[in-house]
Structure 1
Amino acid sequence: MTIEEYWKTFVSCQPEYQNESYTAWQFGEDPSNLADLVKRGIKTATTSGLSFYTADQEPLPKVGDLSMVLNAQDNPICIIKNTKVYQVPFSEVSEMHAYKEGEGDRTLSYWKTVHTDFFEKEFNLINQSFSEEEIMVCEEFECIHTF
């Protein structure tokens, strides 16, 4: 099913969203697994670096934003709606946020290890160095549609 077909199916089930906009994207380094965690209700949060929004001149996410989560093949898996968005230095990401990200053993220690590796690579791509003082954009969301 294409992105457009998936959206049409969604709004036919939930017509209150028919005039809303959405973005479609993949999560991180393992998009299919992460999309599955979202679909199963395990992953209810994500984190990105504020520097990436600045570098790409993209608007920051906000509460109420709708996103279509795609797998590694760019197939739609589900639609999520942001319920909370906040900014905090990497070093201050909470255990609860790490748990809500739903990855690995869901501990802050696991989260920091995996995300340090991820952000070091990503910051390198925009010719910046990563530090634990980097501001992170933390999003919490609910899965509002799966097919």
Structure 2
Amino acid sequence: MTSTQPRPPVAPLDEPAAAALWQDYLAAHPEHAWDTPTVEHFGDSAPLADELLDLVLHGPKRATATLLADFAAEGELPPRIGSHWVACDGAGRPRVVLRSVELRVGPVHSVDDAFAWDEGEDDRTRATWLEQHLTYWRRTCAARGVELDESVEVVFERLRVVWPPEHAD
């Protein structure tokens, strides 16, 4: 999807269904009752949310990257190791519970080959990762009325799928 095409927005997140999915997870893993998951989706459009979630559900995507400034813009705290989030599809339906297993904050250009590979997108190279993510972040920053500064800090997050069992790592 090029940056000039309209992007169908992600539907509102189904918070009650996300809470039910989280409760199912807690019933099997009560040791995580201390955590309150975030409920969110990947990307900035319904098709992108579905595309990236599909990569999670079918294997290669075990990492994600978010501008640190995006958390502040959304009024959220960045993830912490061990925290959970319920990932929804483009229709707002919760599909999986993810757990943050590794975090690093650094400038966008500090991404390495291993992280680009673990993110599981495109050809999984660092060069393509930089090209695609900078394009994405320029677009999302512009939508917020700010210009992307390429020295901005990024939260590099590795994750595991922990629920439902048929998708868990």
Answer whether TM exceeds 0.5 for this pair: yes
Determine the C-alpha separation between the residues in 2 that align with 1:13 and 1:63.
20
Q: Deviations over 1:77-124 (max 9, x none)?
A: 111111111111111111111111111111112111111110001111
CA contact (8 A) 1:41 1:143 kept: no
Which of 20, 39, 45 is the matching residue for 2:57? 39
Q: Deviations over 1:34-90 (max 9, x none)?
A: 112112231111111112223334212110110011100111111111111111111
Aligned length: 147
Q: Are the aligned partners of 1:26 and 1:71 in contact in 2 as well (CA < 8 Å)? A: yes
Q: Quick check: 1:140 aligned with 2:158?
A: yes
Q: Does 1:16 align with 2:31?
A: yes
SS of alignment partner, residue 2 of structure 1: helix
Partner of 2:43: 28
Give me the identity figure in percent.
23
In the alignment, the residues of structure 2 paired with residue 56 and residue 6 of structure 1 have an alpha-carbon distance, to the nearest angstrom, of 23
Which whole-Å CA distance do the structure 1 matches of 2:23 and 2:72 have between them? 32
Q: 2: distance between equivalents of 1:53 and 1:76?
A: 20
Which residue in 2 is equivalent to 1:5?
A: 20
Question: Aligned equivalents of 2:20 and 2:108: distance in 1?
Answer: 37
2:149 alignment partner in structure 1 = 131
| Deviates further, 2-11 or 63-72 | 2-11
Where does residue 101 of structure 2 map in the other structure?
83
Q: Which has the higher strand share?
A: 1
Query: Does the CA-based 8 Å contact 1:36-1:77 persist in structure 2?
Result: no
Aligned partners of 1:72, 1:96: CA distance in 2, in Å? 28
Instruction: Determine which of 123, 139, 149 is the counterpart of 1:121.
Output: 139
Cα distance in 2 for partners of 1:61, 1:19 equals 15
- 1:51-70 pair list within 5 angstroms: 51-70=69-88
CA distance in 2, matches of 1:57, 1:20: 18
Segments of 5+ residues of structure 1 without an aligned counterpart are none
Q: Could you tell me how far 1:145 is from its partner in structure 2?
A: 1.1
Most deviating of 105-114 and 49-58: 49-58
- TM value normalised by structure 2: 0.79
